[in-house]
Amino acid sequence: MVNYPVPDLDGVFRALADPTRRAIIGALARGPKTVSEISRPFDISLPAVSKHLKVLERARLVTRQVRGREHHCRLNPQPLAPAHDWLSFYSGFWQERLDALDALLSEEDQDSDEA
């Protein structure tokens, strides 16, 4: 059983649904970075990066420490756990189901008709 308080799977999955955001997570996994350091590899504006960071913060995936004029961002991977668990629950299916149930269904769905 999963049994999380289900913090906000929506926010986490939505945060992960953008390649820039996943790349930011990937960068921060190598260690904390300032906003400028984060934005360097991307050819989008700084405000755009700032917005992505806000999405990640809202999903609690990134925390920020203001040190002087620089904002040091750090990955907080905990909210990924419920998402991972949600997927793990269905990971039983994509092997189990595919030889057992799928075989069963393909013999009962003979009158199929793909659009």
Long-range (24+ apart) CB contacts under 8 A made by 84-90 are 85/2, 85/4, 86/2, 86/9, 89/2
Q: Which residues contact 2 (CB under 8 A, 6 or more apart)?
A: 82, 85, 86, 89
For residue 112, give every residue at least 6 positions away whose Cβ sits within 8 Å of its Cβ, in sequence order, or none: none
Q: Does 14 interact with a second copy (rule: CB under 8 A)?
A: yes
- Only one of the segments 39-47, 48-56, 77-85 lies at the binding site for a second copy (rule: CB under 8 A); that segment is 77-85
Q: Does 9 bind a second copy (CB under 8 A)?
A: yes
Q: In what order do the strands lie in the sheet with 62-67?
A: 33-34, 70-75, 62-67
Q: Does 50 bind a second copy (CB under 8 A)?
A: no
- The secondary element (H helix, E strand) that includes residue 3 is none
Binding characters for DNA, 56-95, by CB under 7 A (x = yes): --------x--xxxxxx-----------------------
Q: Which residues bind to DNA, rule: CB under 7 A? A: 14, 17-18, 20, 34-37, 43-55, 64, 67-72
Q: Which residues bind to a second copy, rule: CB under 8 A? A: 9-10, 13-14, 16-19, 22, 25, 29, 31-32, 64-67, 72, 74-75, 77-78, 80-81, 83-84, 86-88, 90-91, 93-94, 97-98, 101, 105, 109, 111-115
